Homo-oligomer: A and B are copies of this chain.
Amino acid sequence: MKSDIPVMSLQRLPVYLNYLKSSGGDGAISSGAIARALGMGEVLVRKDLAYTSAQGKTRVGYQRAELIAALEEYLGCNDRKNAVIIGAGELGNALLAYGGFSNYGIEIAAAFDISPEKIGSEICGKPVYDIRELRKGVEELDAKLAVLCVPSDVAQAVADGLINCGVKKILNFAPVLLRAPDGVTIRNIDVAANLAILMSM
């Protein structure tokens, strides 16, 4: 991981970025103001932002535009990279339709599916390829990221296939724990678990 940033800090960087971009305004903004707006501690905000190249000044704070640029640089928003969606079902379709990835330099280049009716079609202008041609597709697209939108019972097999094709970063929506070798990072989004967590908070 870049400069050994703790995952929790890394997870907060997009939150700062979203806040700064959406709140608008010019000139300087203090870590205190960011902390109050986000309901966080000021020390934590300063620690998190110190992982980026942003330079805060005592009693002044950060230059807003510089801080945005530093966060975008850290999060790789200016480095274009391709991602692929595996599974062109409802969730896959929702992600193919979503325009927000480009904010982070991520281009959803294609989807892969097993269904003959979907293969060869386009969804929101993105081609749907045959999952059996995953290797060719991943190589041609130079896909660094994959989003797994497949049923739980095939998620591990599909992840293994992706890893075999050299994909090292997988975002998994199936509510199962996937095994991966060292050097491969899998991040899980379990929507049902998120609702249960919310209910228990």
Contact = CB atoms under 8 A, between A and B. Distances in A.
Contacts of A185: 198, 201
Contacts of A165: none
Contacts of A2: 200
Copies of this chain, count: 2
Contact of A144 (B81, B90, B199): B199
A63 interface: no
Nearest to A190: B14
Interface of A: 1-2, 5, 7-8, 10-11, 13-15, 18-19, 22, 37-38, 74-77, 81, 83, 89-91, 93-95, 97-98, 100-101, 103-106, 144-145, 147, 169-171, 175-177, 185, 187, 189-201
A190 to B, nearest CB: 6
B197 A14 contact: yes
Contacts of A147: 191, 195
Given A18-B176, A22-B177, A94-B91, A194 B200 contact: no
Given A19-B177, A94-B91, A94-B94, A14 B189 contact: no
A100 B193 CA distance: 9
Given A76-B200, A83-B195, A169-B201, 13 more contacts: A7-B197, A7-B201, A13-B200, A14-B190, A15-B193, A18-B177, A18-B190, A37-B177, A90-B97, A94-B94, A103-B192, A171-B191, A185-B201
Nearest to A81: B199
Nearest to A103: B192
Contacts of A19: 177
9 contacts: A14-B196, A89-B94, A90-B93, A90-B94, A91-B94, A104-B195, A145-B198, A185-B198, A185-B201
A106 B189 contact: no
A157 B167 CA distance: 40
